[in-house]
Structure 1
Amino acid sequence: MSRHYIPLQQAVEQIHQGAIGDVITCWAYREHGPVGFTPKPAGMTELGHQIRNYSSFTWVNSTFLLDWLIHNLDVCCWVKDAWPVSAQGQGGRQVRTQADQLFDHYAVEYTFPDGTRLFAQGRHMGGCWGFFGDVIHGTKGSAVLGEGQSNPRLFKGHRQTSENRIWQYQGPPCQQYQVEHDVLFEAIREDKPHNETERCAYAAMTGILGRMAAESGKEITWEQAMASDLELAPGLEDFTMDSDPPVMPDAE
């Protein structure tokens, strides 16, 4: 979706043309208030309850990294024109008390093939600093862009102030969801090849790699993640609404 946002397309093109020099570090942020949770009403099955609260259970949303931060990770990889080769990270529950699996904070350090880093971090707690977007640092400047930033901007140096701004989008408003469909429908009408499956799979795998690193506390390589036989929802194709979900609450 983010890759169909015309202001972002133009910003990334500027970066690829060298506007901020060689990209040396990427930061992906999603910092905001608590994620909601709806208690299970009487008569609802545990499976129905978990599906209803899909953002809170790993087997349904694959964690916050994929459910909420996936587009920002993809934008950073787009800027780098590369996918990570490894990741290490951490996360936990500092204030969240709901009976679910959701970390309320996490941080992942990805390494690209050239050794540069992508740092992804998120937090959903009240009363804390908030920001939703990507910050890119190059050898000559920096950029603020990505999902959550409707007006991507490029800067000379690494202080993102108005006097240091060297580029921002000047075109008409853009609705990326509409553009995404326009491109697809045009390809269908004109019988042109159109396939984003591989890129989407790589972006999803980037999020999965980060989740594995954050939950294990270990450095995980791309090859290790790809070779994993972990199933978050074994036998999903046979579930009915009366089935037990892959994770069940304990006595507490």
Structure 2
Amino acid sequence: MTNPAGKLPTNIESKPSRRRFIKQTGAASVGAASTLAASRLLRGDEPVENEKQMIRVGLVGAGGRGGGAMNDTLTINDNIQMVAIADLEPGKCERLRKSLQPRYGDKVAVDDKNMYGGLDSYKRMLDNPDVDLVLFATPPGFRPTYVLEAVEAGKHVFAEKPTCVDPAGYKVCLEADKKARANNTAIVTGTQYRRQTNYVEAIRRIHEGAIGEIVSGTARYCSNGIWFKQRKEGMSDMEYQLYNWMHFIWLSGDQITEQAVHNIDAINWIMGGPPETAFGSGGRFTRPEGSEMWDNMAIDYTYPGNRVVSFMCRQIPSTQSENGNVIYGTEGIATILGSNSGASIVDRDGKTIWEMEGNIGAAYKQEHKDLVDSIRAGKPIVELRETAESSLTAVMGRMAAYTGKKVNWDFVVNESKLDLFPQDLDIKGKGAARGFAIPGKEKLI
């Protein structure tokens, strides 16, 4: 399925493929948008008195993250119902419905006719007039297209991170963000740290000058490993890539994009936007045969004002884990750790001047409450651009590491032609394996 090491020099570039895929798969949804615009009750322009109106939710991607997102929204929101589920594997839809019904009762109201299977199942979700809000938890490679089509169909959206894995997908995200603002439909993304209280408070204090002028920073997402699925008998190449999606770059974007984007997003938030350049390296020592992923990357991101953030991510068994961000200022140091580990600020003498515990579980739920509250208030949140910028920052770091070259923001936004999405998406086809990158041979496209 993959080529042998040493013979994998180039990226796959599919210039017209993504647009062609959008046109082919999105026709029904776009066609339905005009009728939905006239008939749907929740378009984001309702007065506040509709705050108790039922919101009907559909889920695309019924795996672990999708189930987690649905649990979070059903737990924290009142007057909400899960009414549809879509997944490549129909059995996942039934298993998820069965697992949620005992806990949530009438909040789970998914008829058999509203459980959709197959690669095009998301289209039937978007064509369902009973669905107001769609949660997307599919492999990231599909996310730009799916979100854009959802916006065109008049749906509110929750999209997991990352929102793109290449510059072509970034441009689709910008289009979706623009249309959502024009349509008055919401897009909230799975960057839960932006709603975790210790992150919000620490970064507010940084922006207000608690550590003086920002000089530099470090960001780390280092863990022990990630899942890998062996191929099942009879699977086509494409079926296997979708089944083992983390390990194929067109689907996951590699660890830096799929997982470590959380830390990159936090740094962009702190710095007020994306960096100007990325320069880095990395490699692979422990990945299984057939995986395209590297298992470590180290990137120096330079932000405006010549402020450098040293970023590192790795997934290597039996190594020390570290997840967090440290920001160095002229008057102090802010440490914002991942998960539940909390945040603190010390002055230059090491004296703690502020600290707060973390609660990531509450943040996962809060993003869904903010989304639903914004819809009911008629002031839908649209935050896709920010997450797309963070996703592209991760992609820029990956491009720098893969090629061994310095990459700048202007290039990835305005010049890069990199589009990893396959030209012909055939579930029984050969897939889009590209092998793993080798610096010096990998081309900067």
- Corresponding residue for residue 63 of structure 1: 254
User: What is the TM-score with the length of structure 2 in the denominator?
Assistant: 0.52
Work out which of the residue numbers 201, 207, 232 in structure 1 matches 2:420: 232
Percentage identity across paired residues of the two chains:
28
CA distance in 1 between partners of 2:372 and 2:221 (Å): 32
- Structure 1 SS opposite 2:267: helix
Query: Where in structure 2 are there 5+ consecutive unaligned residues?
Result: 1-191, 437-445
User: Which structure features the higher share of helix residues?
Assistant: 2
- Structure 2 SS opposite 1:144: strand
CA distance in 1 between partners of 2:315 and 2:425 (Å): 31
- Corresponding residue for residue 125 of structure 1: 316
CA distance in 2 between partners of 1:71 and 1:90 (Å): 20
Counting matched residue pairs gives 244
Once superposed, what is the RMSD of the aligned Cα atoms? 2.2
- Corresponding residue for residue 407 of structure 2: 220
Cα 1:142–1:49 change in 2 (3 A) is same
- Structure 2 SS opposite 1:175: helix
Please identify the structure whose Cα radius of gyration is greater.
2
Does structure 2 conserve the Cα–Cα contact (< 8 Å) formed by 1:47 and 1:241? yes
- Structure 2 SS opposite 1:129: coil
In the TM superposition, residue 248 of structure 1 has moved relative to its aligned partner by: 6.1
CA distance in 2 between partners of 1:172 and 1:31 (Å): 20
Cα 1:114–1:190 change in 2 (3 A) is same
Query: Where in structure 1 are there 5+ consecutive unaligned residues?
Result: none
In the TM superposition, residue 76 of structure 1 has moved relative to its aligned partner by: 0.9
Deviations 1:25-63 (CA, angstroms, capped at 9, x unpaired): 121111121222121121122222222222211111011
Does structure 2 conserve the Cα–Cα contact (< 8 Å) formed by 1:7 and 1:174? no
Write the mapping of 1:179-218 to structure 2, written as runs, cut at 5 A: 179-218=366-405
In the TM superposition, residue 129 of structure 1 has moved relative to its aligned partner by: 2.2
Write the mapping of 1:1-252 to structure 2, written as runs, cut at 5 A: 1-157=192-348, 164-169=351-356, 175-226=362-413, 227-235=415-423, 238-247=424-433
Letter in 2 for 1:207: A
CA distance in 2 between partners of 1:97 and 1:176 (Å): 34
Deviations 1:107-128 (CA, angstroms, capped at 9, x unpaired): 1111111110111111211222
Letter in 2 for 1:204: S
Letter in 2 for 1:232: L
In the TM superposition, residue 176 of structure 1 has moved relative to its aligned partner by: 1.0
User: What is the TM-score with the length of structure 1 in the denominator?
Assistant: 0.89
Worse-matched range after superposition: 189-198 or 57-66: 189-198
**Greater RCO (CA < 8 Å, at least 6 residues apart):** 1
Cα 1:244–1:187 change in 2 (3 A) is same
